[in-house]
Amino acid sequence: MKIRATAAIMECLLEQEVDTVFGYPGGTILNLYDELYNYKDKIQHILTSHEQGASHAADGYARSTGKVGVCFATSGPGATNLVTGIATAYMDSSPIVFITCNVTEQTLGKDAFQEVDITGIAMPITKATYLVRDAQTIPDVMRQAFAVAATGRPGPVVIDFLKNVTFPNVEIDYEFVPWTENRKCGSLQSLAGSHDLKAPEPNIEDIDTLVGMIAQSERPLLICGGGVVRGRADAEFRTFAEKLDAPVAITVMGGGGFPGGHPLTTGMIGMHGSQASNVACNECDLLIAVGCRFSDRVALKPDSFASQARIVHIDIDRSEIDKNVLTDHHIIGSARRVLESLNERLPQYSHPDWKEKILPLREPSVPRQSEQLTPKQVLETIRKLAPQDTIVATDVGQHQMWSIQHFHFDYPGQLLTSGGFGTMGFGLGAAIGAKVGNPDKLVLHTTGDGCFRMNCHELATVEHYRLPIITVVFNNGTLGMVRQWQHLIYHERYSETTLDRGPDFVKLAEAYGLKGFRVTTMAEMENAFQAALKAGRGCVIDCVLDMDEMVRPMVAGGAHITDFLLK
């Protein structure tokens, strides 16, 4: 059947069951948006204030729903505005298909208006990029892009269509093929050729080796990484941990992979990890890390990391093995399949002495006394009033660490945070994407005054689409995390971190047509949050905090994991 090339692009989105895209139009992508007009009953488009916001929204949508996010942008600055969002998604393995349009074939490479080589720019921060010069290849490229984004270790891809490919008079041959059948046609067929069209299975000998290692271990420790979340392997991981009766440390990206309130959890591990996690890591004799890449924020000092332990790495991506930390054994596979096979083979273990040693160390750090409202009070108020299944999107810095330490995340996709790339300004976009994808859940956005200013213009999107997102600003008038480093390591030389300037976030919220609150005490916080819950629309709560609050505990970068700078 012959159809318009742009219609084929839309049909390919429908093949993948895409019903929501985020984006921003412009000159070269006009034809695509013109076609979108025909499809507006089937595909909802969320128009953000800035392409970066759209990229984070597609990311938040993907992380919270487990589906592939889709984001549109035009050529040139539209495309480069996506770059931070693409890198954020790449570092945290979030599946997103970015669709941009470029100038025409005749002007390509001639520095035409709004021309940029986005497939070249995005190459190091994507799983794959596609430059589409021939309209006939559209279905094949679209199907391959979605498959690549979603399977194996997920991640972002970029498809760049030349404008002439999208001209309204271009027609191509197209047949609708549901996504489950995609692998039987075109380039996917040849890519899948070596696998006899069935998903590979983890190696049984490797599984048995680990079963043997577990039997010999007296002090096992598990690390729940982002792979458990991306692979939606939380149930299997929980069974595994309970069978092993081993403490579980959770990385930033692993939040939601294992219940935060579970009796076996020791909390976060690494730079701001709990005493329990970090000491357990130092003293365990077997460390089993699932879907974690031992980043420099977890394995602060790779040489001395878990030095008494045999280290076992379970991951879907073979290139992560022996990358940051040398391991004794590894199993390659999806977290879910590997853990299922392990669970079938494991007896019930019991490690009462080891648990007795580690778990009491979980007691939270004692915050410093303060007359002012404290971050802990803010978070405890929220935890008391918000439903337990609230989705939390954070920005980056102190409030991010506080949020992750204080809230208990119970399911994958409940915590949305830029753990790998550390993108300030990620949170509001991500919250928008999460709310669009999960209309029945409360979505909370925690941010700092520095981060919020980076992308607060997305409040216009919150207002326009009537998204009742609650933004809580941890306003300490400083770039708190950087200040904390300056305080501890740079001899209190507070170079360019004091944010003694506007805007007034309450007025800002009101200017966008939202409700704003300023709170300075716990009672005010409680009232404001209750009002926000009832408001039924977007709210901003500006919490005035002391600028010398610090995230505790803390281990300096590159230091041994139990050498706490702050307890």
Partner 1 sequence: MKREFDTQKKEYTLSILVQDIPGVLSQVARLFSRKGYNIESIVSGETDKPNVTRITIVLLADELMIDQIAAQCRKLIPVLAVKILDEGTSIQREFSLIKVCAADRNARDEVIQMANIFRAKIIDVSRETLTVAIFGDKEKTAALTGMLADFGILEIAKTGTIAIERGRSTIYDDNKLKEEYNYGKNVL
Cα separation, 284 vs 297, in Å, equals 19
How crowded is the C-beta side of 349, counted as CA atoms within 13 Å?
27
Q: What stretches of 305-412 show up as alpha helix (H) in DSSP? A: 335-345, 352-358, 375-385, 398-406
Q: Which of 481, 525, 550, 554 is catalytic?
A: 481
Indicate which single residue of 47, 121, 170, 192 sits in contact with partner 1 (rule: CB under 8 A): 192
Decide if 559 contacts 270 (C-beta within 8 A).
no
Taking contact as CB under 8 A, which single stretch among the options 124-132, 209-217, 364-372, 499-507 is the one that binds partner 1?
124-132
Is residue 108 near partner 1 by the rule CB under 8 A? no
Closest CB 341 distance from partner 1, rounded Å = 14
For residue 428, which of 459, 391, 386 has the smallest C-alpha distance? 459
* Pairing of the two strands 20-23 and 220-224: unpaired
Indicate which single residue of 48, 49, 88, 119 sits in contact with partner 1 (rule: CB under 8 A): 119
Closest CB 316 distance from partner 1, rounded Å = 5
Taking contact as CB under 8 A, which single stretch among the options 117-125, 409-417, 437-445, 519-527 is the one that binds partner 1?
117-125
Q: Which of 17, 106, 113, 123 is catalytic?
A: 113
Strand-pairing partners, residue 100, are 73, 160
Annotate each residue in 74-93 with x if it binds partner 1 (CB under 8 A) or - if it does not, as one string: --------------------
Q: Which of 127, 163, 435, 515 is catalytic?
A: 163
10 labelled catalytic = no
Report the amino acid identity of residue 253.
Answer: M
For residue 181, which of 172, 173, 189 has the smallest C-alpha distance? 189
Indicate which single residue of 260, 333, 413, 437 sits in contact with partner 1 (rule: CB under 8 A): 333
Closest CB 137 distance from partner 1, rounded Å = 11
51 labelled catalytic = yes
Q: Which of 11, 15, 35, 51 is catalytic?
A: 51
Report the amino acid identity of residue 335.
Answer: A
Indicate which single residue of 123, 185, 204, 489 sits in contact with partner 1 (rule: CB under 8 A): 123
Is residue 127 near partner 1 by the rule CB under 8 A? yes
Complex with partner 1: residue 57 or 311, whichever CB lies closer: 311
114 labelled catalytic = yes
Indicate which single residue of 110, 111, 124, 387 sits in contact with partner 1 (rule: CB under 8 A): 124
Inter-helix orientation angle 51-65/83-91, to 10°: 20
Cα separation, 334 vs 225, in Å, equals 13
Is residue 531 near partner 1 by the rule CB under 8 A? no
Cα separation, 516 vs 276, in Å, equals 39
Q: Which of 44, 114, 136, 372 is catalytic?
A: 114
Cα separation, 292 vs 325, in Å, equals 11
Cα separation, 228 vs 291, in Å, equals 6
Is residue 94 near partner 1 by the rule CB under 8 A? no
Ramachandran quadrant class, 365 (left: phi over 0; alpha: psi -120 to 50; beta: rest) = beta
- Residue that the structure tokens 């669709």 belong to: 99
Complex with partner 1: residue 191 or 489, whichever CB lies closer: 191
Q: How many CB atoms lie within 10 A of CB 521?
A: 12
* Pairing of the two strands 391-394 and 329-332: unpaired
Complex with partner 1: residue 178 or 200, whichever CB lies closer: 200
Closest CB 360 distance from partner 1, rounded Å = 31
**Interface residues toward partner 1, by CB under 8 A:** 119-120, 123-124, 127-129, 131, 144, 147-148, 151-153, 183, 188, 191-192, 194-195, 197-200, 203, 311, 316-319, 321-323, 326-328, 332-334
Which residues are the active-site residues?
A: 51, 113-114, 163, 481
